[in-house]
Structure 1
Amino acid sequence: MSDAPKSTAPKSLARRPAWPTSVSRPVVTPLQPSVVYSSPDPDGLDQQYEDGSGFTYAREGHPNATVLAQKIDSLEGVDGGIITGSGMSAVGAVFLGVLQAGDHIIGADQLYGRTLRLMTEDLPKFGVDTTLADPTDADAIAAAIQPNTKMVVVEVVSNPTIRVADMEGIAKLCHDRGLLLMVDNTFTTPRSYLPFENGADIVIHSVTKLLAGHSDATLGYAVAKDPALMDKINVANVTWGLTPSPFDCWLAERGLQSFDLRYDRAEATATALSEALSGLDGVTKVLHPSRPDHPDHNRVAQVLGHRPGNMMSFEVAGGRAAANALTNAARDLPFAPTLGDVGTTLSHPASSSHRALTEEGRAALGISEGFFRVSVGLEDPQLLIDELTHAIAESQKA
């Protein structure tokens, strides 16, 4: 018997098995949570970075984000959009990619509360100044322009006051003055409004909301019409690590399959609900673009056509006491600061999205303690009307 030591070298390195091949394809998009992707050699990796082929590291992109972005691109009529980790990270990616110290931007004074905070409190730390102006008046936007103004940021329908911006006037102004127009299309969605067909340069979404539609995925989307500008936004997204989760992208793509059906049903119900609430005792205001008493009624048809959307707001008399009573009585309606779910949700801007504003600041926007935003979902319309009718009656007893 030989006294030679036995070799401890492995006969072969452990290898991951190859992904099974098939002549058929999966009907459902596969979920790919891998953080990294293996390349054949350094030349191959160089080629991937040069021509953008394949995937390398999930922060720089992954298959589920690409599939979802392409589907939203098709809705917006554009190419090259990216998915980000949240709606606010989409806003952040645009600002980080486009703006620099010394720039000035104009924001609609009725933007989403966190967007307002970012523009008025955080951007100044980086040397970017913000002026807020009324988006329903293009002349007010024009009056806010300074020599260093670079961008105008608007929502087509404002959150939470449901005002309709003067999109034609603002788009013409931006074109004439050489300013970038960024549109947050979250409320309206491509089902109701196509920003690029109406003069926008940049579009963002909180995919979390109506596009995904099930309150189980937190994502954003950003796209620019100019490929060079889009490249800057994408670089900022990668550098700052605003990466989306593959699982959330997979969930959102699933939700997107029913988006148009969900939107149409919720929109019709919101129209019926706004009509039903308008005649109730204690209701001092109902805001929905379908209503003839909407403050921007003359502009609604021009901007939205016949797509008023699923978002509405109403106000009850009685202040905070009435608001508490209403939410306590509406047991079957989630009181939650979100929108776009398959179920209807109630939001109270004074205690959530716009709580950072002073009482005077909220009053200037028309947001009182009795003001509620409603994201209308897919319930039976009459059941929803009955629930809110009861809750409003209870609020007036307070």
Structure 2
Amino acid sequence: MSDDTLVRRTPWPESSSRAVGTPLQPSVVYAAESPDRLDDLYEGRAPGYSYARERHPNADVLATKIDGMEGCTGGITVGSGMAAVTAGLLAHLKAGDHLLGGNQLYGRSLRMMSTELPRMGIETSLADPTDVAAIEAALRPNTRMVLIEVVSNPTLRVADLDGIAQLCKSRGILLAVDNTFTTPRAVKPFDHGADIVIHSVTKLLAGHSDATLGWVGARDAALNEAMLGFAQTLGLTASPFDCWLAERGLYSFELRYDRAEENARALADHLHGLPGMERVIYPGRPDHPDHNRVASLLGERTGNMVTFEIAGGREAANKLVRAASNIAFAPTLGDIGTTLSHPATSSHRALTPEGRAALGLSEGSFRVSVGVEPADLLCREFEAAVRAAAA
């Protein structure tokens, strides 16, 4: 190659074999052979790509895999879990509509409902998703959508998914379900009547705390088309590299989920009754407030998340974190390793102390995203930390 052609792109080498690993394609733009061919692409007569903000191969590969897990086609990959929430909501809501949310949503979802949506003219309110009667009482003539999580973050309450879905269907209201905590390994919301399903792929699906992504999908093609157009227009683009990492993470998802779930059961039982322990919340325990619904909705798939509360307030919380030095204290979940978070200073810090108390969260509340380490190691480390906090 001469110096004067160095800037020209080198054709990709032909091969009679194919790569086993998915290729990473970071290109922002894709060249078409003619204006006619570009028309064919944009108008759906030919497959392909033009500009990565609109679509790119790594995002489509990942979305197709999650589509298969959830039981739909046409879902989209976006730049974060909150981008998925945004696309799921704003592609279908307009000024004057009412959005009803579960009162124990993820902190940023609550903030969106309390701050961002109202300034756009969208009415919002909250109700208890464990009580379908409370949801029904909170509906308004202009209610367009209900947003819930199957298992709430971080209080681990279990929504009456079937009851709410039946209610929404009878009223012609869209039901959006955030399935991040439970994942399709535990429950598939479409099979229970959900219209839209949302994931923070960043968490359990990707599983290694190295990719920030979201996914949102529907079984109705028109809903998917609206969300895709919204995401393309507002630039909710997913990074090709993050999509590539997340797809790699999915190959071990079921192994990771099952091991972490087994560990979570063991840790929850071990924490119960330790000195200074006020309460332990885990869907698999018989003392969980929604235990009967857990059995009917989730069965044995009770997840990898454990929430507990210790006595002693912020001082004891600081002691516990310092004593648990081998456990990453980080505002995340779903990593292959165990992480510990403190809602009052992370996910729910935007709420007032009174607002957190109304959700059952105190300065002594912690959320554990249990990983795949040996269960006996986790039990020893957490017992030592809890005892240090109570000392």
Measured against the shorter chain, the TM-score band is over 0.9
2:40 to 27, 43, 47: 47
Number of aligned positions between the proteins = 388
CA deviations on 1:76-102 (whole Å, 9 max, x unpaired) are: 011001000000001111222111111
Partner residue in 2 for 1:25 = 18
3-state secondary structure, aligned to 1:172: helix
3-state secondary structure, aligned to 1:217: coil
Partner residue in 1 for 2:240 = 246
In the TM superposition, what is the alpha-carbon distance from 1:17 to its structure 2 partner? 2.2
Question: For the residues of structure 1 that align with 2:131 and 2:252, how far apart are their CA atoms?
Answer: 35
Which structure has the larger Rg over C-alpha atoms? 1
In the TM superposition, what is the alpha-carbon distance from 1:11 to its structure 2 partner? 9.6
The one-letter code of the counterpart of 1:126 is M
The one-letter code of the counterpart of 2:17 is S
In the TM superposition, what is the alpha-carbon distance from 1:312 to its structure 2 partner? 1.0
The one-letter code of the counterpart of 1:97 is A
In the TM superposition, what is the alpha-carbon distance from 1:14 to its structure 2 partner? 6.1
The one-letter code of the counterpart of 1:119 is M
Q: How does 1:143-292 map to 2 (within 5 A)?
A: 143-292=137-286
Partner residue in 2 for 1:299 = 293
The one-letter code of the counterpart of 1:284 is E
In the TM superposition, what is the alpha-carbon distance from 1:279 to its structure 2 partner? 1.7
The one-letter code of the counterpart of 1:23 is S
Question: For the residues of structure 2 that align with 1:335 and 1:13, how far apart are their CA atoms?
Answer: 49
Partner residue in 2 for 1:7 = none
Q: 1:88 to 1:11 in 2, by over 3 A?
A: closer
Q: 1:42 to 1:366 in 2, by over 3 A?
A: same
Q: How does 1:62-101 map to 2 (within 5 A)?
A: 62-101=56-95
The one-letter code of the counterpart of 1:73 is D
The one-letter code of the counterpart of 2:216 is A
Q: 1:38 to 1:390 in 2, by over 3 A?
A: same
Seq. identity, %: 64
Partner residue in 1 for 2:119 = 125
In the TM superposition, what is the alpha-carbon distance from 1:15 to its structure 2 partner? 3.6
Question: For the residues of structure 1 that align with 2:332 and 2:355, how far apart are their CA atoms?
Answer: 22
**Segments of 4+ moved more than 4 angstroms:** 10-14
In the TM superposition, what is the alpha-carbon distance from 1:13 to its structure 2 partner? 9.9
List runs of 5+ in structure 1 lacking aligned partners: 1-9
Partner residue in 1 for 2:356 = 362
Partner residue in 2 for 1:140 = 134
Partner residue in 2 for 1:335 = 329
Question: For the residues of structure 1 that align with 2:341 and 2:284, how far apart are their CA atoms?
Answer: 20
Which deviates more from structure 2 when the two are superposed, residues 356-365 or residues 322-331? 356-365
In the TM superposition, what is the alpha-carbon distance from 1:271 to its structure 2 partner? 0.2
In the TM superposition, what is the alpha-carbon distance from 1:382 to its structure 2 partner? 0.4
Question: For the residues of structure 2 that align with 1:101 and 1:270, how far apart are their CA atoms?
Answer: 43
Q: TM-score, normalised by structure 1?
A: 0.96
